[in-house]
């Protein structure tokens, strides 16, 4: 049995955890370099990589802040058959962390592919997404 720990957790919180239902708060730009925020960033990346996930949000490690981390490594791509990578236009990209992310749709046509969620392990669903988006943040 896992002992309760103080966020940011070293695991992904499961569906049903109230932190996943709440409104994540914006990070004050003056606090980005603080020890607490840097600890969240480090733990978020550590857990994402440990799980082999392409993306993870701060609420998924128990912190109700608007922070996401994304990364797709060569190793992750190699686990996906080449024909699927081609259909999904998947490509490697380096670690990117977005604080207070903003999403702007650049192409409103949609694509639908199966996706999983680390907070609901073992489950996949076909998720429609806009074909083109631009994500910015601090």
Q: According to the 3-state scheme, what is the secondary structure of 39-90? A: HHHHHHHHHHHHHCCCEEEHHHHCCCECEEEEEECHHHHHCCCHHHHHHHCC
Q: How far apart are CA 115 and CA 124, in angstroms?
A: 5
What structural domains does the chain harbor?
18-100 (3.90.45.10)
Q: Percent of the chain, pLDDT > 90?
A: 95
Summarize pLDDT for 11-51 with one digit per residue, the tens. 999 999 999 999 999 999 999 999 999 999 999 999 999 99
**pLDDT (0 to 100) of residue 98:** 98
Q: Name the nearest CA neighbour of 95 among 56, 37, 40.
A: 56
User: Residue 8, preceding bond cis, omega within 30 degrees?
Assistant: yes
**pLDDT (0 to 100) of residue 46:** 98
Q: State the pTM of this model.
A: 0.92
Summarize pLDDT for 72-85 with one digit per residue, the tens. 999 999 999 999 99
């Amino acid at each position: 049995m896992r002992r309760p720990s103080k966020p940011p957790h070293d695991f992904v919180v499961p569906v049903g955890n109230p932190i996943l239902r709440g409104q994540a708060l914006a990070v004050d730009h003056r606090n980005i370099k603080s020890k607490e925020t840097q600890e969240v960033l480090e733990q978020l990346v550590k857990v994402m990589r440990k799980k082999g996930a392409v993306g993870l949000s701060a609420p998924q490690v128990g912190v109700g802040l608007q922070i996401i981390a994304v990364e797709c490594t060569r190793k992750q791509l190699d686990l996906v058959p080449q024909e699927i990578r081609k259909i999904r236009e998947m490509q490697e990209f380096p670690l990117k962390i977005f604080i207070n992310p903003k999403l702007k749709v650049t192409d409103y046509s949609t694509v639908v592919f199966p996706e999983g969620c680390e907070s609901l392990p073992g489950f996949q669903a076909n998720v429609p997404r806009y074909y083109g988006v631009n994500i910015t943040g601090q």
